[in-house]
Amino acid sequence: VPGTSQATAVVSKQQKSHSTNSRDERFRSDVHTEAVQAALAKYKERKMPMPSKRRSVLVHSSVETYTPPDTSSASEDEGSLRRQGRITSTPFQSHSNAEPWLNRVIQGSSTSSSASSTSSHPGGKPAAASNLMAHIQLAWSDVVSNVETCICVFINTWQIMHPFCLAGVPVNSRVSSKIQQLLNTLKRPKRPPLKEFFVDDFEELLEVQQPDPNQPKPEGNQMNVLKGEPVSVVTNWPPSLLAALQRWGTTQPKAPCLTALDTTGKAVYTLTYGKLWSRSLKLAYTLLNKLTSRNEPLLKPGDRVALVFPNSDPVMFMVAFYGCLLAELIPVPIEVPLTRKDAGSQQVGFLLGSCGVTLALTTDACQKGLPKAQTGEVVTFKGWPRLIWFVIDGKHLAKPTKDWHPQLRDASAEIAYIEYKTSKEGSTVGITISHASMLAHCHALTQACGYSEAETLTNVLDFKRDAGLWHGVLTSVMNRMHVISIPYALMKVNPLSWIQKVCSYKARVAVVKSRDMHWSLLAQRDQRDVSLSSLRMLIVADGANPWSISSCDAFLNVFQSRGLRPEVICPCASSSEALTVAIRRPPELGGPPPGKAVLSMNCLSYGVIRVDTEEKLSVLTVQDVGQIMPGANVCVVKVDGTPYLCKADEVGEICVNSGATGMAYFGLVGITKNVFEVCFFPMQSTGVPVSDQPFTRTGLLGFVGPDYLVFVVGKLDGLITVSGRRHNADDVVATALAVEPMKFVYRGRIAVFSVTVLHDDRIVLVAEQRPDASEEDSFQWMSRVLQAIDSIHQVGVYCLALVPANTLPKAPLGGIHISETKQRFLEGALHPCNVLMCPHTCVTNLPKPRQKQPDVGPASMIVGNLVAGKRIAQASGRDVTQLEDNDQARKFLYLADVLQWRAQTTPDHPLFLLLNSKGTVASTASCMQLHKRAERVAVALMEKGRLNVGDHVALVYPPGVDLIATFYGCLYAGCIPVTVRPPHAQSLTATLPTVRMIVEVSKSACILTTQVITKLLKSKEAAAAVDIKTWPTILDTDDMPKKKLANIFRPTSPDMLAYLDFSVSTTGILAGVKMSHAATSALCRSIKLQCELYPSRQIAICLDPYCGLGFALWCLCSVYSGHQSILVPPLELESNVSLWLSAVSQYKVRVTFCSYSVMEMCTKGLGTQTDMLRVINLSCVRTCMVVAEERPRIALTQSFSKLFKDLGLSARAVSTTFGCRDFVDLLVCENENRIFWLLLNLLLPLALRHDRVRLVERGSPHSLPLMESGKILPGVKVIIAHTETKGPLGDSHLGEIWVSSPHNATGYYTVYGEEALHADHFTARLSFGDTQTIWARTGYLGFLRRTELTDASGERHDALYVVGSLDETLELRGMRYHPIDIETSVIRAHKSIAECAVFTWTNLLVVVVELEGSEQEALDLVALVTNVVLEEHYLIVGVVVIVDPGVIPINSRGEKQRMHLRDGFLADQLDPIYVAYNM
């Protein structure tokens, strides 16, 4: 490697600006800065969408004062597009420049902003109104929502849409423009173009990174083991370090050993060799003889003792260290714990515990400063063993007796001391150093540095460990040197202090880090009279910082004129395991001239050394760290796999074999073997061991250059391997620091580490943001850093986060505690104020998108199943004809007839009992009472309403007996009832439009309701939401004439319409389903048979009575079967959570029905209120059925069962039902029989995405528990059909559930009679096989699986599993995802995520997360959400939206309204805390 002289000149102009814009010269290299600037210039100004942030989130920085930047500098053209309402985007800006980037996107398009907005709709045309005829999209229908800020958006089928709206949302809103911008940035091709492969089998293989065929490969000869010069023989060399101490302490007691300074730089105390010897003796005697517990000595030789001394007290530390050695105790020096939550403190505690430490030595002053418990004793820190704290100030020590003398043995292999080291993962290990190693190391250092007796040495390093300990405490005593110890606190106050001390003490040697040189450069202007001419050696002990060359060069430039000779600068390389590895020799020892290498960073990432010639952009300039130590053998071995020797032009790990290395990691035998005993290795490529001596790994990466000089290019700990290429954290930091302007972040406070996401390392960069940096500036700096790293290192940054000033965990002596920062990042406890995620750029190992298979016809599927021995998936409930007398079925064909018959035969039999929130009976109805009330309603309809047979009547009632009576009144009058949920008085704007919509779409001729609701419908508030003049006739049924109905209407045919069932699906579609009299009675009959309902039974119902099964159970079943229904309106649970369970207990109900939302309210609300539950006894409950139209929620049903087990609830009582309201008003099945609780059937979501089912063991990774949805109702047949070919599928194949039953609905009720549009739903036929049967399509995906269990008829039981709604599924990367699966993963990601909903927008996955915690946690969630979705679903999240709790709209059945949420997001109505656009 040619020694290219690239001395970096420091221009005087820069020196002037130092005070205002200080630069971190450690990482400073003009070449590098120029390279970064050039790289950035290559990028066009590509605008990235800036995250939106709520203002309150900006104010949580630890620095209280923010100075708003001058807003007048905004350019004129930035005010063209303003957002209505609050501006939540950027802080401290007048609204004139709220979204400058937005205008550029819009102005940049060829047409005006509104015209171009339609282009985000596929095909570029607005959606045609005709497509919406039957599916009426609603903004906030059916939502019990407390979000009052939301505005409703409607599309009426008969109104042509506004030409620039897509699905009712104006597309030129801020949000979608940002998304457009995000899409534009993502259109760039990913580099490098990877060869993707993907096997479409059960196993989904991730992209395997293929090595680049053009990557550089090492070409040199294999290197040999490097041998250091022999250790010189010194006459009169002491046999041990303690012997040296005794010699100097007795023969030269007055010689100065150590001078301690205070924070002003004054010498506080000088310890002489005599004092050091006598005090260490006293301490050794006290420790062995005066400390007892239970009359036994507390310590015996070989015990470990913690040394807890502050950095400002080297004198006491030295006494304690040598005192322990004299007492044959093993000192374990550690940092002073300042608080209970110090970074890494827990790991230090683990080290102390594993070393068996029971005693800690400290000073009086330090002990007073430690946190205390109330008893006045020092607290036990988290993870620490119980310690006895012993203060070693003079008054606490006893004088040794005349006859006591310590044993000064020769240096042996016994442990002398333990030095702690923190690994990359944050674990703290103790490295044991033997007496022999300690002595050998002192000898080698003395020889390599040419130390002589009575020399003066200035030490700026930490004296407790590493080079500070080796030079300033051990080797100095060996040679009777005088050490001037500069505390860290003094350096912070006066960075020049070490240079002044070198000058005033005429020190010959100084031990510093490049940071200290850099600090002194910043302050050197103030000093003119310092001289460094006395220095013969300036040891730069950075361990392994390839960037120290810039500090050395810059320091030399300035101080050469003050007597500093260039050859005096001696960098060294060291590691905790191998101690000093190499050091540049001082000039008088005549080493080779220093070397410099300019290396290509790209080649380095492949582990190959190439001197950079053509591309000057990405280079790393490194200087040598001298020659290896005397008496040592060194070799460089491959980093990965078997430790083979490297070639001459290859970077590897440096390994050392010498008598002066550490021995082991204390108590950790396994990793010790791996690091300290690389035995019989390193091997040559022939497989022959190099030596029979064990080598020690240093953890340093480097190579050996010309003249046998060692070059270090990084540490193994800082290594990040991305897609097979190795990058060094320090290099990435240096690139970030070279991005100008640097006034937005603190220079020395940047952490770079990697996290593993989706089987590869991802780079994370965290920096502290200055309090005065504006949002825009910081964001711009972040995007420039991304581009610079991308350009220079050819690697993408996965996440870049800025945190408020002073919030990153600090290492003991400044710097950032990297592993703790990483831990906080992964736990979501970093609390950043700015985040930029770039998964689209970084994640290149996703599976290949699934290609659709060429059409496989239904016939070949059946043949395939037959060949595979699989049966066709179909199942049916019990045959109704065998179960019941058909005469009764005929007699009970019309519900109006049934009610009249019951009123005659059992007039006083109670049918309904309604409870209020206090648990008291609000109203009741017997058979006769209900009949009478129905008659009065029928009379009112005919006389007051003047309605004709077949007219539609909207029933707008709260849940109660009125609703039931008016329903039967409509049947008596021959009218068609439509039940409608009443509007919510507190949120009329959100709920009234839904009422209006159903009334209009159902063509209701009249509205029946109560007095209170009548007033509400005609109120001023209502007028603001809808046009109240267009309501049809409103009849108030509170006071009706008591007239007898002349004749009750009787339908001419059972196929006549009985009622309309209107509901809004979770996808926001309003659909009305027509139910005939025949279907209604068939449904009631099936439920009666399945649930065994008779007049003597009582059931409790806590469901919404407006549609689907809730309506059937609430209004129809009691009249049909004659049982008594105890009605509990779910809304009443909001004021009294225990209402439903109390009712079940009080009335000793055997069968009860509820919804998931009710179950969730009970689980959450009653979990803590044990006193309310003492009176409740649920042992009477035989079946508690959850009525739902979704996949069974296993976690909720299990926690409900567990929680109420102690109140007598049987584990087998809770069961699920599945009914599909949208297309078929039927209850397909009820999970009555508890044996089929098949939790062991876990289903792999990976296979699910391919519409396949694969059963795996419980707890398998990526698995999903599914519970059987229940037993199929009598008279119901179920088949699983292929969603596209409509052919039948085999057992355990995922497809659409099709149903055939007597109670199927007859079709959709639509405005223009466009039944043909959805005839398919109700009259579907299979395309192959049994093509005669007419089926109804449920729109739900599921599968049938034959089990080993037998049912009542002796047949094997077919279990039906519901997976999810077809409408809700997301098509991404050619696969089908169920939102609930992604949401479940996201909710698990962090404790503060209360709820989550996902949807797609222009092929981007949008995740909306409700934050239940402080707003400063909001940005933590962005990375966690992105990680978990990548890991578990192989999907990249496009946008993460953090909102307040309660923003995700949920309907009364507890289902998320994802489409409404999407509309609200795109119309910018969510008032999010933070919106992150992932790059």
Digit-coded pLDDT (tens) for 489-514: 999 899 899 999 999 999 999 999 98
Mean pLDDT of 599-605: 88
3-class DSSP assignment, residue 764: strand
Residue 1263 — pLDDT band, cuts 50, 70, 90? confident
Task: Express each pLDDT in 977-995 by its tens digit.
Answer: 999 999 988 888 888 988 9
3-class DSSP assignment, residue 127: coil
What's the pLDDT score for residue 155?
30
Residue 954 — pLDDT band, cuts 50, 70, 90? very high
d(CA 539, CA 880): 95
Is 1244 within 8 Å of 1262 (Cβ atoms)? yes
What's the pLDDT score for residue 134?
34
Strand partners, 756: 761
Residue 97 — pLDDT band, cuts 50, 70, 90? very low
Lowest mean pLDDT among 167-181, 200-214, 711-725, 937-951: 167-181
Structure tokens, 153: 């958006």
Residue predicted with more confidence, 859 or 655: 655
CB-based contacts of 452: which residues, under 8 Å, 6+ apart?
479
Lowest mean pLDDT among 498-512, 622-636, 1052-1066: 1052-1066
What's the pLDDT score for residue 1406?
96
Residue 1234 — pLDDT band, cuts 50, 70, 90? very low
What's the pLDDT score for residue 1442?
96
Residue 882 pLDDT > 70: no
Given its phi and psi angles, is residue 596 left (phi above 0), alpha (psi -120 to 50 degrees) or beta? beta
Is 1270 within 8 Å of 1360 (Cβ atoms)? yes
What's the pLDDT score for residue 1271?
80
Task: Express each pLDDT in 831-845 by its tens digit.
Answer: 999 999 999 988 888
Task: Express each pLDDT in 1344-1382 by its tens digit.
Answer: 888 877 776 777 888 888 888 888 889 888 888 899 999
Q: In 509-664, which ranges are continuous DSSP H helix?
A: 514-523, 548-559, 601-605
Residue 71 — pLDDT band, cuts 50, 70, 90? very low
Phi, psi (5° rounding) for residue 1278? -130, 140
What's the pLDDT score for residue 1124?
93
Q: How far apart are the first and last CA of the chain?
A: 40
With pLDDT > 90 as the criterion, what percentage of the chain qualifies? Answer: 40
Lowest mean pLDDT among 16-30, 123-137, 567-581, 1401-1415: 123-137
Residue predicted with more confidence, 710 or 883: 710
Residue 217 pLDDT > 70: yes
Chain position carrying tokens 């050395």: 552
What's the pLDDT score for residue 836?
93
Residue predicted with more confidence, 99 or 1152: 1152
Structure tokens, 506: 């005429």
Phi, psi (5° rounding) for residue 644? -80, 155
Structure tokens, 978: 């439509």
What's the pLDDT score for residue 854?
58
Mean pLDDT of 591-618: 82
What's the pLDDT score for residue 324?
96
Residue 553 pLDDT > 70: yes
Residue 1245 — pLDDT band, cuts 50, 70, 90? low
H helix count then E strand count, the chain: 43, 65
Mean pLDDT of 739-745: 80
The DSSP call for residue 918 is T
What's the pLDDT score for residue 1266?
82
Nearest to 835 by CA among 788, 785, 779, 786: 779
Tell me the whole-structure pTM to 2 decimals. Answer: 0.80
Residue 52 pLDDT > 60: yes
Residue 1241 pLDDT > 60: no
Mean of the per-residue pLDDT values of the chain: 81
Residue 1452 pLDDT > 80: no
Residue 104 pLDDT > 70: no
What's the pLDDT score for residue 6?
37
Mean pLDDT of 1259-1273: 78
For the sheet with 1437-1443, list strands across it: 52-53, 1474-1477, 1437-1443, 1404-1411, 1393-1401
Residue predicted with more confidence, 798 or 141: 798
Residue 841 CA: distances (Å) to CA of 185, 403, 1477? 10, 75, 13
What's the pLDDT score for residue 1253?
78
What's the pLDDT score for residue 368?
92
The HSE-up count of residue 766 (CA atoms within 13 Å, CB side) is 30
Nearest to 1087 by CA among 1060, 1106, 1115, 1059: 1115
Torsion sign (Cα): 1315, 1316, 1320, 1324: positive
Task: Express each pLDDT in 242-294 by its tens digit.
Answer: 999 999 999 999 999 999 999 999 999 999 999 999 999 999 999 998 887 77
What's the pLDDT score for residue 1318?
60
Residue 1419 pLDDT > 90: yes
Lowest mean pLDDT among 612-626, 702-716, 765-779: 612-626
Lowest mean pLDDT among 109-123, 426-440, 1395-1409, 1432-1446: 109-123
How large is the C-alpha radius of gyration of the chain? 40
Lowest mean pLDDT among 185-189, 665-669, 924-928, 1137-1141: 185-189
Mean pLDDT of 191-217: 56
3-class DSSP assignment, residue 753: strand
One-letter amino acid of 1048: I
Q: Identify the H or E element spanning 922.
A: strand 921-926
Residue 898 pLDDT > 80: yes
d(CA 1465, CA 159): 24
Residue predicted with more confidence, 1253 or 581: 581
Structure tokens, 233: 């023989």
Strand partners, 976: 952
What's the pLDDT score for residue 121?
38
Q: In 908-1005, which ranges are continuous DSSP H helix?
A: 927-943, 961-973, 988-1001
